[in-house]
Amino acid sequence: MAAVEVHKFAQCITCHAWSRDRSMLAFCPNNNEVHIYALLQGKWEKLHVLQKHDQIVSGIDWSARSNKIVTASHDRNSYVWNLEGSEWVPTLVILRLNRAALCVRWSPRENKFAVGSGAKTVCICYYEQENNWWVSKLIRKRHDSSVTSVAWHPNNILLATASTDGKCRIFSTFIKVVDAKESRTGPSADSKFGEQILQLDLSFTWSFGVRWSPSGNTLAYVGHNSMIYFVDDVGPSPLAQNVAFRDLPLRDVLFLSERLVIGVGFDCNPMVFVADERGIWSFIKFLGERKTTTSGPKYGSQFSEAFGKLYGQPKQGFNNDTNEHSRSRGGVHENCINCIVPLGDPGSSKVKRFSTSGLDGKIVVWDMENQEDLAEYL
């Protein structure tokens, strides 16, 4: 099994993030607090509780270089936390939102961060040295619904967003006082702040987690229709493909390499997707699986099972395959996995360890080092 560490910190965990050396862990236990644990003498002990938000903390990201924590919450606010001595000191970021902040992510150079919201807007926040505060510029009137996920391109300029309007979009976030001109390459070379580079209409359902590959050549995002979408050659003529699977939908996604993607979500088990030599993506297995998968389609039997549950028919009326399929769901996690975080060095082209957290209150560390069947993709 690829799970090497399993920790139960709370009844439910909304999101989590790690310090650069992985000796400290920050997470939200499904309330308005952020708990920070440290590994001391082989045991995880609570060191700090960050209390500034008024509602559930929906996003946490921990910068590797500057050691700053940024948090976003349903209270429509965001804070940047600096460690001064032994205390974490918050700085309020004025987001100018009238709906909840749903996600947050530092840019690769850590000179700005993006906040997605339920107000159909994305806030790009950066530090103003002259006034000694964090300010935000808004990307407005582009989304038709809540922005559920954001992902930075390695060039620090392009930002991908996923929304519950079913679309994935790519924007330019070039800010003259922050970004160098030489960083503007490719499709964003002549674009202005907030300009939409590309809109992908591949999904007809809610779209969730979005992520770039390490090189920035491939984009992946997931839909609530049990599909994952891959886009190559992002620009005027992108190449797109989708992979449909018969299991529950995904919530988040992570590239471990250019040819291997991990998807997590309502199925409680991380799913492995790989690309062959031709660049064709496919689902191959679960990690930590107690579930057995077969090649035969079961859409009819799954529908029959759902129909039977709705009208109270006994399970004995269905075939054995369907019963076995529904019984064996689950693995290390016992509820929906809503967050996946890489544990490699920032900017690394390959990641062999990552962590997941879910509604079961567990944080699980996964190691791909001994997965011999996946070695050629890592």
pLDDT per residue as tens digits for the range 182-198 = 566 665 567 899 999 99
pLDDT band at residue 303 using 50, 70 and 90 as cut-offs:
very low
Please state the rounded mean pLDDT for residues 202-222.
Answer: 94
User: What CA–CA distance (Å, rounded) separates 273 from 169?
Assistant: 22
Q: Map tokens 């790519």 to a residue.
A: 170
Calculate ∠ Cα 214-288-216, nearest 5°: 10
- Stretch among 37-51, 175-189, 232-246, 251-265 having the lowest mean pLDDT: 175-189
Is 3 a residue whose pLDDT tops 60? yes
Q: What are phi and psi of 158, to 5 degrees?
A: -75, 140
Q: Quick one: pLDDT at residue 213?
A: 95
Strands 353-358, 337-342: pairing kind: antiparallel
Assigned token pair, 246: 């018969």
Q: Quick one: pLDDT at residue 74?
A: 97
The alpha carbon dihedral of 20, 25, 28, 33 has a sign of negative
pLDDT per residue as tens digits for the range 312-324 = 444 443 333 433 3
User: If you write DSSP's letter for every residue of 242-286 in order, what string do you get?
Assistant: EEE-SSPPEEEEEEEETTEEEEEETTSS-EEEEE-TT--EEEEEE
User: What CA–CA distance (Å, rounded) separates 152 from 101?
Assistant: 17
Q: Quick one: pLDDT at residue 182?
A: 53
Is 342 a residue whose pLDDT tops 80? yes
3-state secondary structure of 132: coil
Is 364 a residue whose pLDDT tops 70? yes
- Residue 338 zone, left/alpha/beta (φ > 0; ψ -120 to 50; rest): alpha
User: What CA–CA distance (Å, rounded) separates 159 from 95?
Assistant: 18
Please state the rounded mean pLDDT for residues 197-208.
Answer: 93
User: What CA–CA distance (Å, rounded) separates 119 from 189?
Assistant: 29
- Which stretch, 113-127, 191-205, 343-357, 364-378, has highest mean pLDDT? 113-127
E strands, 224-375, are: 227-232, 239-244, 250-257, 260-265, 271-275, 281-286, 337-342, 353-358, 362-367
Is 310 a residue whose pLDDT tops 70? no
Q: What are phi and psi of 198, to 5 degrees?
A: -155, 145
Contact 322, 294 (CB under 8 A): no
Contact 184, 192 (CB under 8 A): no
Cβ within 8 Å of residue 239, ≥6 positions away: 231, 232, 233
Q: Map tokens 């359902």 to a residue.
A: 205
- Which stretch, 129-133, 231-235, 239-243, has highest mean pLDDT? 239-243
Look up the pTM and report it: 0.87
Is 297 a residue whose pLDDT tops 50? no
Q: What are phi and psi of 208, to 5 degrees?
A: -120, -130
pLDDT per residue as tens digits for the range 11-28 = 999 999 999 999 999 999
Q: Quick one: pLDDT at residue 43?
A: 93
Q: Quick one: pLDDT at residue 62?
A: 97
3-state secondary structure of 102: strand
Cβ within 8 Å of residue 213, ≥6 positions away: 219, 220, 255, 258
Please state the rounded mean pLDDT for residues 340-369.
Answer: 89
Give the DSSP H or E segment for 308. Answer: helix 299-310
Give the DSSP H or E segment for 93. Answer: strand 87-93
Is 207 a residue whose pLDDT tops 50? yes
In terms of Cα–Cα distance, which of 134, 139, 110 is closest to 122? 139
Please state the rounded mean pLDDT for residues 222-234.
Answer: 94
Mean per-residue pLDDT of the chain: 87
Determine whether 91 is exposed, middle or buried from the number of CB atoms within 10 Å of its CB (0-12, 13-18, 19+): middle
